Amino acid sequence: MRKHVVIIGGGFAGLYAAQSLRRANVDLTLIDRRNFHLFQPLLYQVATGGLSPADIASPLRGILARQKNVRVLQGEATQLDAARRRLRVGESWLNYDFLIVATGSKHHYFGNVQWAHAAPGLKTVEDALTMRRNVLSRFEQAERESDPRRRRALLTFVIVGGGPTGVELAGAVAELAKHTLKHNFRSIDPATAEIVLVEATDRVLSAYPPELSAKAEKSLQRLGATVHCDTLVKHVAEDHVVIARDDGETVVPTCCVLWAAGVTASRFGGRLAAAVGAETDGSGRIYVEGTLTLPGHKEIFVCGDLAHIEQEGQPLPGLAPVAMQQGAYAAKVIRNRLRGKTTPGFHYRDWGMMAVIGRAAAVAQIGPLRLGGFLAWVAWLFIHLINLVEFENRVSVLLQWGWNYITRNRSARIITNDQLLMQEITENRPLDRGDGDRRARSTSSSCQGPC
Amino acid sequence: MRKHVVIIGGGFAGLYAAQSLRRANVDLTLIDRRNFHLFQPLLYQVATGGLSPADIASPLRGILARQKNVRVLQGEATQLDAARRRLRVGESWLNYDFLIVATGSKHHYFGNVQWAHAAPGLKTVEDALTMRRNVLSRFEQAERESDPRRRRALLTFVIVGGGPTGVELAGAVAELAKHTLKHNFRSIDPATAEIVLVEATDRVLSAYPPELSAKAEKSLQRLGATVHCDTLVKHVAEDHVVIARDDGETVVPTCCVLWAAGVTASRFGGRLAAAVGAETDGSGRIYVEGTLTLPGHKEIFVCGDLAHIEQEGQPLPGLAPVAMQQGAYAAKVIRNRLRGKTTPGFHYRDWGMMAVIGRAAAVAQIGPLRLGGFLAWVAWLFIHLINLVEFENRVSVLLQWGWNYITRNRSARIITNDQLLMQEITENRPLDRGDGDRRARSTSSSCQGPC
């Protein structure tokens, strides 16, 4: 009887685990709520109109079509019965011999869930399209706005969190405002937009070497963005944020806050911890042993953003390369066990870190090398492209990149999925109504107050 | 004082009118609810996972960035005061000297609005993504389904309406099922899917010459689709449709109905007709004079799908070339009037009609030529590509087409915007709940009953 390996999550960890078990004598089931693998490191490009969702997403069934030992199941794992080694998906139970949990993380508002509406995060395709809609709509609203104070608020963009996502978002929004939208408006000059990056620690990219942080900050400033370090966000509303430093609090009028600050364990992570009584860290990540298994459950692996494992005294960061290596490692442990062999503990090989800031500017640390500027950007482009899963995605992204680079264009800057528009269209509402315009405005902007 | 021309709608008619007034001594305002021009003839490719929305959409501001005499306004025209020559947009009134109304059409259920949910139409980007989600989700559900009767219903796709959109949709869904999804599933064979095209008249593409209709029908049959002519849809439900022919009614179990049957005037069309007391035809289209103006209102033009004008005893069809020529014509009339000249009435130059059916098969009538098969497909591809507005769009679409052609892939087959998933993610719902799986299923499928 072949062993059954169940993998939850088709992100980097889950997909690499599945592919590494290609030739193993096991049956595999890969469960994901979505039907695609998402290349999350480029999600900020979707949020800022540079790429389309399908450019960075590949259908899981397509990727695994020819791997005969794997079955893909679109669904949500809702319950774990670790004692009987079974998992509830939809209406049925699935038995497993090995379970790989790679459900990742979601964004987190540090107990302020009420900020979610005014300050969307960036984890899913839908998040990215929401951000895109918010950013682009603010320029549209500013063009229609006559009050200069309100117009200023509409043209102020606050990015919370100075990690790679926050830095890349700030750079891309600055590019959009200063270059891409040039000549697009008649009443406003988009180049006057203010882009404010707020970071709680003393430097951006705090997980990178300090000199790269300094380079990133300089690149952002060159693009016209303002960086506030040692600064906390105290309050987020539809028309302003309150930021605090040692010397006091400041109210920043803004109608567009992008959240890139905190992550917490995915929902299934909580279920898993509760079901087996696993210990979690402050972000909900689950402490795993050296073989990425749960204490007392050698058959359950946790990989990727959901796993808490330390190396040289530091927890490994929630990055794609860590997830890929962990997924492949879990697969290796399973292959070895089936042959009665043991496996040395997981060791992350750090090939480097990078972040891109606007057009042809990036920072990178590759082994002993620390790059900035154009060279880092080319390295970044190259590494991201070879990691994009499907061939066609790569060519398409490369093409759009080349085009965007030459023209400073962002061709995917279309505002879609405006809920009100959709409703009106499908519901066939009566044609004439006095308050139509006002409602259309306030709802489509999802912004009250001065916006 | 320069005359002010207001154009409502950034589709083919409105955009061509604006561009044709590039060198005219007028101020232009182009109003659209969306921020982009949509290449509607390729929308069915978005609906079937071949292209991304941004591939067939170009931001209006980008297209018109360098045309200094035009201002783009994202908003909805809600009220017309024809006597004072002004238009309400948002909270303000806009005065005009000339008004070009090009707000197009929307789909229409012949008085059965309740069918809209089970049988989405195809007019907007959101419509296309809804269709894509429905089509792809049915295969996912079928893979999980054990009851063979339900599985059959999930793998039956009914397309209502045998015009170009219906024929192209049927061809694309057949391609998807028979070729693209090969090897993607383990419990079902997607090639067993049934694709049923229902047409009320005695042939598909009834506006085309009969021999092209016959070719199209043959192409569809070769792809495995079934064509029912002289057949009416009597009822649409979540899990079946009732179709009727002279010899009686048949119940077809299906969980996916795609609506490509009727169109009616856009909302503003109704407002316009009411405001000036204009006469409309059975589809709500407005009868215009030979110069595309309203009787009694020489300063108001109606162009594109919204206009009813006859040529050789037949009303002109709602096609992109008609809209383009009408938009350019209205601009010409305005230019002439400013110079005190008159313009002969509008005459549509018919360059031909075409429709594509699956991979490398199309039908086309170009002047005296009637093409079928690969040659028609190449002509179709060429004509559509040169008409796509932005350069980058063209290259990107050509590339995806080439890739799809070689591999039979449809790389944009990702299921997005699943409302329930989005809600759960943003609302941070409690982690464990007994009924989670069931709710996730029924809502994400937007299908009750056997689905």
pLDDT tens per residue across span B203-253: 999 888 898 899 899 999 999 999 999 999 999 999 999 999 999 999 999
Q: Does B267 touch chain A (CB under 8 A)?
A: yes
Helices A419-427, B125-144: inter-axial angle, 10-degree rounding: 90
Say what the pLDDT of residue A418 is. Answer: 53
Give the pLDDT confidence score for residue B426 in this predicted structure.
37
Using the beta-carbon criterion (under 8 Å), do B392 and A403 form an inter-chain contact? yes
Rounded to whole angstroms, the Cα distance separating A336 from A232 reads 48
From-to residues of CATH 3.50.50.100 in chain A: 108-261
CATH 3.50.50.60 location in chain B: 3-33+75-104+266-338
pLDDT confidence bin for B418, thresholds 50/70/90: low
Q: Smallest Cβ distance to A425: which of B106, B186, B274?
A: B106
Q: What are the helix (H) ranges across B4-106?
A: 12-20, 43-47, 60-63
What average pLDDT does the segment B381-403 reach? 69
DSSP secondary structure string for all residues of B284-334: SPEE--TTSEETTEEEEEE-GGGEE-EETTEEPPS-HHHHHHHHHHHHHHH
The percentage of chain B sitting over the pLDDT mark of 70, rounded to a whole number, equals 87
Q: Return the DSSP state at A21.
A: T
| pLDDT the model gives residue B404 | 67
Q: Do A437 and B88 touch (CB under 8 A)?
A: yes
Instruction: Give the separation between CA B257 and CA B159, rounded to whole angstroms.
Output: 6
User: Three-class SS of residue A32?
Assistant: strand
Length of chain B: 451
| Minimal CA separation from B225 to chain A, in Å | 24
pLDDT digits (tens, 9 = 90+) for B145-187: 999 999 999 999 999 999 999 999 999 999 999 999 989 999 9
B439 touches chain A (CB under 8 A): no
Read off the tokens for B193.
């899917």
Look at residue A367 in the predicted model and tell me its pLDDT: 73
- Position A449 confidence tier, pLDDT thresholds 50, 70, 90: very low
Among residues B91, B140, B145, B168, the one annotated as catalytic is B168
Q: Does A393 touch chain B (CB under 8 A)?
A: yes
Give the pLDDT band (50/70/90) at residue A431.
very low
Whether B299 sits among the annotated catalytic residues: the reply is no
Sorting pLDDT into bands at 50, 70 and 90, what band is B389? low
**CA proximity to A182, closest of B96, B196, B61:** B61
Query: Domain B108-262, what fold?
Result: FAD/NAD(P)-binding domain (3.50.50)
pLDDT (tens digit, 9 = 90+) per residue, A48-93? Answer: 998 889 888 889 998 899 899 999 999 999 999 999 999 999 889 9
pLDDT of B435 reads 34
Report pTM. Answer: 0.86
CA distance A146 to chain B (A): 11
Is pLDDT at B444 greater than 80 in this prediction? no
Distance in angstroms (rounded) separating the CA atoms of residues B275 and A45: 45
% of chain B beyond a pLDDT of 90: 65
Q: Is the pLDDT of residue B438 over 50?
A: no
In this structure, which CATH number among 3.40.390.10, 3.10.105.10, 3.40.470.10, 3.50.50.100 belongs to the domain A108-261? Answer: 3.50.50.100
**Is residue A449 a contact partner of residue A238, using CB atoms and an 8 Å limit?**
yes
All CATH 3.50.50.100 domain ranges of chain B, comma separated, are 108-262
**pLDDT at residue A107 greater than cutoff 90:** no
* Count of residues making up chain A: 451
Q: What's the pLDDT at A395?
A: 67
What's residue B407's pLDDT?
Answer: 66
Question: At residue B78, does pLDDT exceed 90?
Answer: yes
Question: Which pLDDT score, from 0 to 100, does residue A439 have?
Answer: 32
Q: Do B438 and A91 touch (CB under 8 A)?
A: yes
Residue A118: the pLDDT is 93
Partner A, chain B 4-63, Cβ-Cβ below 8 Å: 33-36, 52-55, 57-59, 61-62
**A304-312 mean pLDDT:** 96
Of A266, A249, A246, nearest in space to A318 by CA: A266
Question: Distances from the Cα of A276 to the Cαs of A79, A266, A280, A334, B108, in angstroms?
Answer: 11, 16, 12, 20, 54
Of B78, B436, B441, nearest to A436 by CB-CB distance is B78
Over residues A394-408, the pLDDT tens digits come to 666 776 666 666 666
More confident residue, B256 or A427: B256
Angle at B435 between CA B131 and CA A80, to 5 degrees: 105
A437 in contact with B, Cβ within 8 Å: yes
Contacts of B411 in chain A (CB under 8 A): 54, 58-59, 62, 390, 392-393, 396
B3-33+75-104+266-338: which CATH topology? Answer: FAD/NAD(P)-binding domain (3.50.50)
- The answer to which of A184-198, A356-370, B115-129, B286-300 has the lowest mean pLDDT is A356-370
Q: What's the confidence (pLDDT) of residue B391?
A: 58
* Mean pLDDT score of chain A: 86
Cα–Cα distance for residue pair B215/A93, rounded to 1 Å = 50
**How far apart (Å, rounded) are the C-alpha atoms in residues B224 and B214?**
15
Residue type, A190: P
Tell me what pLDDT residue B365 has: 77
Whether A165 shows a pLDDT value over 50: the answer reads yes
pLDDT for residue A383: 73
Q: For residues B112 and B97, what is the distance between their CA atoms, to the nearest angstrom?
A: 39
Q: What is the pLDDT of residue B439?
A: 32
Contact between chains at B411 and A390 (C-beta distance less than 8 A): yes
- pLDDT for the residue numbered A158: 98
Give the pLDDT score at A403: 67
Q: Distance between CA atoms of B289 and A87, rounded to whole angstroms? A: 69
Percentage with pLDDT > 70 across chain A: 86
Report pLDDT for A42.
87
State yes or no: pLDDT of A348 exceeds 50. Answer: yes
Model pLDDT, residue A366:
75
Give residue for tokens 């009750």.
B448
A400 touches B396 (CB < 8 A): yes
Query: What is the pLDDT at residue A443?
Result: 32
CB contact under 8 A, A90 and B184: no
* Amino acid letter for position A183: H
Strand order in the sheet with B225-228: B225-228, B194-198, B156-160, B256-259
Strands B156-160 and B194-198: parallel
| Listed range (A419-433, B120-134, B247-261) with the worst mean pLDDT | A419-433
* Rounded-to-integer distance, Cα B188 and Cα A447, Å: 46
pLDDT digits (tens, 9 = 90+) for B285-333: 999 999 999 999 999 999 999 999 999 999 998 888 899 999 999 999 9
Q: Which of A88, A407, A437 sits opposite B78 (nearest CB)?
A: A437
Rounded Cα–Cα distance for residues B406 and A38 (Å): 24
Q: What is the pLDDT of residue A440?
A: 32
Give me the residues of B, 342-361, that contact A with CB < 8 A: none
Q: How far A369 CA lies from chain B's nearest CA (Å)?
A: 35
Residue A423 has pLDDT above 70, yes or no: no
